[in-house]
Amino acid sequence: MTSIKPIATDILRAAALLPVSVARSGTALKGHTPHRLRRLLHAGTGILLGAVAFVLVGMELLVIARGAFYGFVDQGPYDHSWGGPTLAGAWLVHFLASLPVVAGGLGLLWFIADLDDRLGARFVRGERTGAWALPAALLLSAGAVGFVIAWIHQL
């Protein structure tokens, strides 16, 4: 059974994956090791997954602000808000609606950390990790690009 501490550590690792992967690429470019290309591939997939995690962390912060802290960010009136017409009702409904969204986002960050571990094992150490890891990382990255484009268009 997985304990809470490694899950939290994985989530934090995923949140920091973009700068860590940029540093990985710099380190891979410096040396002339026989595994230079493999390290660059791992850094490249880490940059993609780190960008996805960056967007996801931003969305998590937005959901927390608009859920748990709803009463502080929206000053009313609450007549047409979910749970309105009172501040207490609107705040409660927004908080409860944010819980599964936050949980799903944390689960995705955990999955991103696992993907990065699997791709590192595959590219850097040459281990067999299953053929699904690289397509999953690319599909997740493409989905994040589509999400950001849709988000920008709705502004």
State pTM to two decimals.
Answer: 0.85
Report pLDDT for 46: 94
pLDDT at residue 88 above 70? yes
Surface-to-core class of residue 131, CB atoms within 10 Å of its CB (0-12 exposed, 13-18 middle, 19+ buried): exposed
Identify the CA nearest to 119 among candidates 140, 135, 142, 143. Answer: 135
Mean pLDDT for 42-61 is 94
Report pLDDT for 2: 56
Q: What confidence category does residue 49 fall into, taking pLDDT thresholds of 50, 70 and 90?
A: very high
CA 49 to chain centre: 8
Mean pLDDT for 48-56 is 96
Structure tokens at 8: 């939290």
Q: What confidence category does residue 3 fall into, taking pLDDT thresholds of 50, 70 and 90?
A: low
What is the average pLDDT value for the chain, to the nearest integer?
A: 88
Mean pLDDT for 93-107 is 93
Report pLDDT for 153: 94
Q: In whole angstroms, how far apart are CA 120 and each of 2, 19, 63, 113, 129?
A: 21, 16, 31, 10, 10
Taking only the tens place, the pLDDT of each residue in 16-26 is 999 999 998 88
pLDDT at residue 55 above 70? yes
CA distance 98 to 76: 19
Query: Are the beta carbons of 136 and 47 closer than 8 angstroms?
Result: no
